[in-house]
Amino acid sequence: MNTMKVWLLMGGLSILLVLMGNAIGGSSGAMLFFLIAMGMNFFTYFYSDKMAIKMTRSYPVSEAEAPELYAMVKNLSRRAGLPMPKLYIQPSDQPNAFATGRNPAHSAVAVTEGILRLLSPKELEGVLAHELAHIKNRDVLVGTIAAALAGAISMMGSALQWGAIFGMGRSDDEEGGGGMLGGLVMAIIFPIAAMIIQMAISRSREYMADATGAQIAGSPEGLSNALLKLESAAHRLPPMEVNPATSHLFIMNPLSGASMARLFSTHPPIAERVEKLRAMRR
């Protein structure tokens, strides 16, 4: 199922780019943008994890710099039967975390500076186990590629808007192209398409990662307590300054303070997640 989702995401991107090329440059534009789509699909498959790390402004951390964090992740990785992922820290006061990578051998886990200050060791272990569960369940590739494609589509939509404003592209009376009007229409459609791609990421993967993470950690208590603390902090702190295309990667929505983010959230309610974890404990 996850492999099918990856192909659907890449196929959707290709169709959007071909339509955009046709709207701007007719059949020749469609061919050019088809080639661009193929290049982007190749790049996002192999380098989407690096794009996600860059979009979140995370930086690598060594074992000497964070020995307790490394020891915790090593222990949890051993329990989960996974190779040790690369570790990153995101410079943000909002407590949060995410995992990325195309497979367990090429995976990474990032935590914010805020979460390291807020959570107890047992709670942090629960969050890290949740992120390793995403890697173990092999759904991290779908989320990572979706983040890369949604970010690329949003940037292209912005470029099209400016291009339409300054009259770039074919004129409306040239055969096969929509010119400024086509570019403007695509500029409106592309951000909506990026949003749809994010919404295609099933909320059920968070429930599954919670359950698998609780098994890896040995108890659901740490994760359930951590989720309540993260939700409380999200209400006190302003939304994270992060590319919206990456919001579905995090353990909880980093844009939870924004009404539009709640409307199109890819995360299930924290109360429901906590209730399911407490049911496991009972």
Give the catalytic positions in this structure: 131
The Cα angle at residue 52 between residues 49 and 54, in degrees rounded to 5 = 110
1-4 long-range Cβ contacts below 8 angstroms, 24+ apart: 2/138, 2/139, 2/141, 2/142
Q: Which of 221, 73, 68 is nearest to 133 (CA)?
A: 73
Count Cβ neighbours within 10 Å for each residue of 22-51 and write b for 16 or more, e otherwise.
Answer: bbbbbeebbeebbebbeebbeebeeebbbb
Helical (H) or strand (E) element with 35: helix 2-55
Strand pairing of 107-112 and 86-90?
Answer: parallel
Q: Which strands sit side by side in the sheet containing 86-90, from one edge to the other?
A: 59-60, 86-90, 107-112, 97-101
36 close to 28: Cβ distance less than 8 angstroms: no
213 close to 130: Cβ distance less than 8 angstroms: yes
- Rounded-to-integer distance, Cα 87 and Cα 70, Å: 8
- Rounded-to-integer distance, Cα 9 and Cα 16, Å: 11
- Rounded-to-integer distance, Cα 35 and Cα 25, Å: 14
Phi and psi for 227 in degrees, rounded to 5?
A: -60, -40
Tell me the torsion sign for CA atoms 168, 244, 199, 50: positive
